[in-house]
Homo-oligomer: A and B are copies of this chain.
Amino acid sequence: MEPIITPIQVRYQETDQMGVVYHANYLVWFEIGRTALIEHLGLSYAEMEQAGVVSPVTHVEIDYLKPIRYGQPAYVKTWLEHYDGLRTSYRYQVIDQEEQVAVSGRTDHVVVDRERFKPLSIRRKFPEWHQRYQQLLKGE
């Protein structure tokens, strides 16, 4: 698949006194990229939650190569790395103004019921999501 491209305007609030974007905030940027990918597939995470289901993160990995600063343009590239009906892995790259990879990362997710956080099968509970994610993996 082609990565989804999402432009980011650095918020002053996202900086810290090192003068760069605080490292935890890239997880928020990853979320913006992930949301854009889901919308690109014609799906809605807000609707999934209205069905009493949430999709928590189970694992993250991030490599920080270069700092991003306030006032500099940046964008996130997001793509699907793995999907097996239960677990979903996304990959991300934050690209800086020199078109270099500043940050790269990965997040893994499951879907669970909101009340007890018991894992659910995406395949059975959300067949439309299942179909779109399988197509995406195959590059359709």
Q: CB within 8 Å of B: which residues of A?
A: 9, 11-13, 15-20, 22-25, 27-28, 31-32, 35, 44-46, 49, 54, 56-64, 66-67, 70-71, 114, 117
Contacts and interface: CB of A to CB of B under 8 A. Distances in A.
A27 B28 contact: no
Given A24-B27, A60-B61, A12 B16 contact: yes
Contact of A64 (B16, B44, B58, B67): B58
Contact of A114 (B19, B28, B60): B19
Contacts of A58: 63-64
Contacts of A27: 23-24, 27
A56 B15 contact: no
8 contacts: A11-B28, A17-B19, A17-B49, A18-B56, A56-B67, A59-B64, A60-B60, A61-B61
A31 B15 contact: no
Shortest Cβ-Cβ A-B pairs, 3 listed: A46-B71, A24-B27, A15-B17
